[in-house]
Homo-oligomer: A and B are copies of this chain.
Amino acid sequence: MDAYNILISHGINPSMQRIAIMEYLLNHRTHPSADDVYTNLSKTMPTLSKTTVYNTLKLLSEKGAALMLTIDENKVNFDGDTSPHTHFLCKTCGRIYDLPMAGSVKEVMAMDADGHLITEVHQYYRGICKNCLVTKK
Residues of A within 8 A of B (CB): 68, 70-73, 76, 88, 90-91, 97, 99, 102, 104-105, 108, 111, 113-130, 133
Contacts and interface: CB of A to CB of B under 8 A. Distances in A.
Would you call the interface of chain A mostly helix, strand, loop, or mixed?
strand
A130 B116 contact: yes
Count of chain copies: 2
Contacts of A115: 130, 133
Among A70, A90, A105, A128, max chain B CB count under 10 A is at A70
Q: Which 4 pairs from chain A and chain B are nearest by CB?
A: A104-B104, A115-B130, A120-B126, A119-B127
Given A70-B70, A70-B72, A73-B76, A117 B108 contact: no
Nearest to A58: B73
Contacts of A118: 88, 125-127
B127 A124 contact: no
B133 A114 contact: no
